[in-house]
Amino acid sequence: MRRVSLTALAFALAVSGSVCVCASMGAASASDGADQTPGQAHDGVAPDAHRPAHAPGALPDIGTKMPDGTVYAGLSMITGKPSFIAPAGIKMPDGTIYAGISPDTNQRLYTTPADAPGVFTWRDAVEYCKSLSASGHRDWRMPSIGELAVEFTNRTEIGGFNETGRMQGASGYYWSSLRVGDGDAWGQLFSDGFHEDFSLDQVSSLRCVR
């Protein structure tokens, strides 16, 4: 007489039970879906689940470029109606370049038409922008980290940026005004947008804003 261990018997019963349960579940599922037409929503699915993220007629996000080339700037503080501004890269009558909307002030941001000549340590960069007199303006400054990101986003439209990538002395980066502790400050690489904090004594590229 062939002997079967208790372990083998338990395994066989477990497998048999699983097959029965699976068959029952499959039959139930087929029965539930039999009366549904293709594309009909299942019970428990929210009716809004398949609606577009933005309802037709909804306002675009601030900064969105419109089909006519203008950029949506939000609701006017005066009229309450949607307002649109010129796209980044437009050369102004005074020679400055419109760079976009500052995320810090929510005001229009302008840059010089070209980088500052050469490369600068962070402290020298601060002094250069403070003392700069260009296009009839003397209120130039270093860009904040957010404003630097705006310049990077619109770098093609603005033009003239150093996009050569990582270089000895960090000159492939652009300085921001954001310091980190006593010895470092944040910069942004204009070849790929990478942010990094490095020594104030390293040199990097600079584009002043106002």
Walk along the chain (210 residues) and give the pLDDT tens digit of each residue.
Answer: 444 443 443 434 343 444 333 334 343 433 444 343 333 333 333 333 333 344 446 888 877 878 887 778 788 888 989 888 778 888 999 999 999 989 999 889 999 999 999 999 999 999 999 999 999 999 999 999 999 999 999 999 999 998 887 655 556 789 999 999 999 999 999 988 888 888 999 999 999 999
**Backbone phi and psi for residue 22, each to the nearest 5 degrees, phi listed first:** -65, -40
Residue span of the structural domain in which 149 resides: 88-199
* Residue 164, in any domain of the structure: yes
The pTM assigned to this predicted structure is 0.62
For the chain, the domain total comes to 1
- Contact between 190 and 121 under an 8 Å Cβ cutoff? The reply is no
Q: Is 67 a member of any domain?
A: no
Residue 102 is assigned to a structural domain of this protein: yes
Tokens of 119: 């490369």
Distance CA(134)–CA(197), nearest Å, equals 29
Tell me if 177 is assigned to some domain. Answer: yes
How many CB atoms lie under 10 A from the CB of residue 167?
16
Q: Quote the DSSP letter at residue 18.
A: H
Within a domain: 57: no
Identify the CA nearest to 129 among candidates 154, 117, 162: 117
Distance CA 183, CA 201 (A): 8
Is 53 a member of any domain?
no
